[in-house]
Structures are given as structure tokens and as C-alpha cells.
Amino acid sequence: MLTPVLSDNWDADRAWTLPSYERGGGYRGVRKALRMQPDEVVQLVKDSGLRGRGGAGFPTGMKWGFIPQDNPKPKYLVVNADESEPGTCKDIPLMLASPHTLVEGVIISSYAIRANTAFIYVRGEVLHVVRRLQAAVAEAYAAGYLGKNIEGSGYDLDLVVHVGAGAYICGEETALLDSLEGRRGQPRLRPPFPAVAGLYASPTVINNVESIASVPSIVANGAEWFSSMGTERSKGMTLYSISGHVKRPGQFEAPLGITLRQLLDLAGGVREGHQLKFWTPGGSSTPLLTAEHLDVPLDYEAIGKAGSMLGTKALQIFDETTCVVRAVLRWTEFYKHESCGKCTPCREGTWWMVQVLARLERGQGSETDLEQLLDQCDNILGRSFCALGDGATSPITSSIEYFRDEYLDHLRQGGCPFDPAASTLFATVGADA
């Protein structure tokens, strides 16, 4: 049912240190990879079927294969550790518990794409994770896993831990590159794609933390081992993060394709005396789903077919005490706050959507406001440089699809019919909600 690989050493004594990581078999993937040709490592990751764990699910090995090796410029690997998608909380605990898993993945991946400089772009708001990364990189240098002539292979790699400064948009890969160049984090128009002209206009691979952290186990155990887990087109194990109104929220590492019903069971179910109302499969940018989707396999294809996206596998669970209008308004305020301002549909559209939603939540406005909201979403979706605006429309369109009546209840009652105290963690257990 569960398949701990990335999380397997998280309960080890001083798991974040190099000796602990090496005791568990760490860094043998590096030695094995350095005996292979870089192209063989790329092929191995292609064969494994690993797809990007940061939300889009793009095949990792294929991304690496796009790096033009005849380009004379330096190649760069950049790890996207800017985990900020609401609900998403897998990379931060991974780096806190076992930063060396990521560092080892960086070394192997950089070797595969022939990069001699790599960066971990970590969000700034996680101080202790920054400390652990800094310490792990220092340990890896001291042990000869980073620097010149790694393990006598002749391969050199420098790794810089780069700390962001608070901007959700920097999780978008081209905004991240601008930010890493010391600029405002605003997305770039593509093409050219980062593989051709990324950091410093040089060939660059940008991968999510979990994607890169999955590489050492693939190298150590083989592509077949990895692809023996998961479904036909969604291979391998992954971290599912369950939060919200469940008895035991937390991280669950399972093969792709497990269902929410199974995961909820492992998490002890929805909190006592309450029922599932709505959930996100992969953060707030993925359309809401409901109890009718409990048995949909949590893989890229099946969730897509159900009208949402697997995203970051951030399963935020809300029970019947939660007002969906309040939830959606808050997410929309977030997108408005985080819109970088570059593209008009997103910058202006998210502002207007907040106005309309806030009025609805107060029980004012009229039913035509719902059509107005859907029209605004239609004018944002697919009309900006990056996916932030697209994501902002997901909670709105999906909530109107599944909970139109609840919006109308606000209008009928002239206000929110819910008691916010009932949905808190410290609401009196067993009280009538």
C-alpha cells in the first residue's frame, strides 16, 4: 500500500547528516552514475518513466534530453525548491529530514546533463530548511562529493544554495530564473525554452525537489524497479500530502494511482462526526473535487479525466463545516496578491474576481455575478505568460460547478450561512456544527 523510498530514512537518527545518510546507502548512486556515461544516465531516467513532481508531470528524462549538448555555453541545473503552492508541503519536510537525498540527486542529474554548476533555489521563509541545506552542501564538499574531480571521476560540480525572498510566482520556472539572476521574479515568454536559453541565456534544466530526489533511487535500483510501481503512464512512488479535516494529516509515500479513499483510510478518515465536502488533488491551482471522486486513481491521467490535475499531490481535505465561498475567496485573494503584474488578464482579472467574490460572500450581489465570474475566468485562462492566472480560475470554476447552490444560499440569506468556528481545529469535539 505504502512504499517509502524518499521518506525511508526520515526516522533515522540524525537523518539530515552525511554519516546517517551514508549508513542508509546514500551516495552509492553517485558512484554508480559516475561510472556510467552521462547519456546513459539520461536514458535510465527516461526508461524509468519519472515525471516531474512539481505539478506539470513532464517526463524528467525527456526534459534532460532537450539540453543541446553542442551548445558551447555552460549548462546549468536549477532545483525548484520554492514550494509555495497552497496545500503543498512535501519538499520542505524532505529537505528538512534528508537534504542529502536532494544533494545526491543534484550531483547525478548535473552529471547527466553535463552541468558543472547547479543551484537549489529554496524559498526564504523556511529558515531551518535553509540551515540544513547549507550544512548538507558543506558536508558534501568536505567529503569530496562536490567540488573538483568528484570521486576521482574527473567530473567537477559546484552547488549553490540560493535563498528567495517571498514570491509565489518564483515557483514558475522562468520567473525563478529571472529571480536567480537578481531581478524581479516575472515569467518569460517562451520560446526560447530554458533548455535552450535559461539561466544567463544558457541551456538550463529546472526540476522540482522531489523529481531530483527520486533520481538516486532510480540509479541505485534501476528503471525497471521504479516503473514496477505506479500505473501505466504514471510510474513510480511519490509523496502525497494530506492536510485539513482528517484525523492524522501528514506525508504518505505511495505508488502513483492510489486513491483518496485509500489514503483517507490511512490518515484515519475525516475528523470524527464529519463528512468530506471538497478537496484539492494537487494544491489550490487544481480544480476542486468532491466525495464522488474518492475512487479516482491519483495519477496524471485519471485525475485529468476527472476534470482536475494531479499537480503536487497536495490533498487538502475540507469537511461539511467549511464554506466553499470563503475558501475560494481566500485562494483568490492569494492569487491577486501573488500575481506578478506582468500580464494584464491575470493582474486585472484576479483583482476583479476578488471584488465579485467578496461581495457574494457578504451575501450581496446577484446570481448574474456567477456568470460574471465565469466570464472573467474565461478571459484569464490561457491568456497570460504563465499558469498563475490559469490556476486562479480553477477554484472558482470548479466550485461554481459543484456548489452553485451554496453561492446562492449566501444571496438568499444575505450573508454566510456557516459558522467559521465550527471548522477550526479547536472546535469543541462533537459539538453540533
Site for other proteins in 123-162 (CB under 8 A): 123-128, 130-132, 134-135, 138, 160-162
Least CB distance from residue 306 to other proteins, whole Å?
21
* Nearer residue to other proteins within complex by CB, 305 or 337: 337
- The answer to whether residue 14 forms part of the interface with other proteins (CB under 8 A) is yes
Distance CA 334, CA 336 (A): 5
Q: Which segment (56-64, 105-113, 298-306, 322-330) binds other proteins by CB under 8 A?
A: 322-330
Site string for other proteins, 402-431 (x = CB under 8 A): ------------------xx-xxxx-----
Which positions from 255 through 294 interact with other proteins, judged by CB under 8 A? Answer: 266-267, 284
- Residue 398 interacts with other proteins (CB under 8 A): yes or no: no
Which residue, 217 or 308, has its beta carbon nearer to other proteins? 217
**Which of 46, 330 has the CB closer to other proteins?**
330
Q: Does 343 bind other proteins (CB under 8 A)?
A: no
* C-alpha torsion sign, points 68, 72, 77, 80: negative
Cα angle 123-326-336, degrees, rounded to a multiple of 5: 45
3 state SS for the chain: CCCCCCCCCCCCCCCCCHHHHHHCCCCHHHHHHHCCCHHHHHHHHHHHCCECCCCCCCEHHHHHHCCCCCCCCCCEEEEEECCCCCCCCCHHHHHHHCHHHHHHHHHHHHHHHCCCEEEEEECCCCHHHHHHHHHHHHHHHHCCCCECCHHHCCCCEEEEEEECCCCHHHHCHHHHHHHHCCCCCCCCCCCCCHHHHCHHHCCEEEEEHHHHHHHHHHHHHCHHHHHCCECCCCECEEEEEEEECECCCEEEEEECCCEHHHHHHHCCCECCCCCEEEEECCCCCCCCEEHHHCCCECCHHHHHHCCCCCCCCEEEEEECCCCHHHHHHHHHHHHHHHCCCCCHHHHHHHHHHHHHHHHHHCCCCCCHHHHHHHHHHHHHCCCCCCCHHHHHHHHHHHHHHHHHHHHHHHHHHCCCCCCHHHHCCCCCCCCCC
The residue range among 120-128, 345-353, 363-371, 374-382 that interacts with other proteins, by the rule CB under 8 A, is: 120-128
Tell me which of 164, 287, 349, 391 binds other proteins, using CB under 8 A. Answer: 164
Contact indicator for 245, 423 with CB cutoff of 8 Å: yes
| Count of residues that bind other proteins according to CB under 8 A | 113
Q: Which is nearer to other proteins, 234 or 251 (CB)?
A: 251
The span of 54-62, 220-228, 294-302, 408-416 binding other proteins (CB under 8 A) equals: 220-228
Q: Does 77 bind other proteins (CB under 8 A)?
A: no
Q: Which of residues 182-211 bind other proteins (CB under 8 A)?
A: 182-185, 200
Q: Is 385 in the site for other proteins (CB under 8 A)?
A: no
Q: Which of residues 233-252 bind other proteins (CB under 8 A)?
A: 237, 240-245, 248-252
Instruction: Report the residue number, 3 or 379, with the smaller CB distance to other proteins.
Output: 3
107-115, 149-157, 311-319, 361-369 -> range binding other proteins (CB under 8 A): 311-319
Of 300 and 334, the one with the shorter C-beta distance to other proteins is: 334
* Least distance CB 49 / other proteins (angstroms): 15
Mask of contacts with other proteins, 79-98, x by CB under 8 A? ----xxxxxxx-xxx--xxx
Q: How far apart are CA 10 and CA 4, in angstroms?
A: 10
Q: How far is the CB of 366 from other proteins (least distance, A)?
A: 25
Q: Least Å distance between CB 167 and other proteins?
A: 5
With b for 16 or more beta-carbon neighbours within 10 A and e for fewer, the 195-215 pattern comes to bbbbbeebbbbbbbbbbbbbb
Q: Under a CB-based contact definition with an 8 Å cutoff, are residues 94 and 101 in contact?
A: yes
Q: Which of 68, 166, 192, 417 binds other proteins (CB under 8 A)?
A: 166
Q: C-beta of 308: minimal distance to other proteins in Å?
A: 16
* Min dist. Cβ of residue 210 to other proteins (A): 12
Per-residue x/- track, 16-55, other proteins (CB under 8 A):
xx--x--xxxx-xx-xx-----------------------
* Closest approach of other proteins to the CB of residue 6, in Å: 9
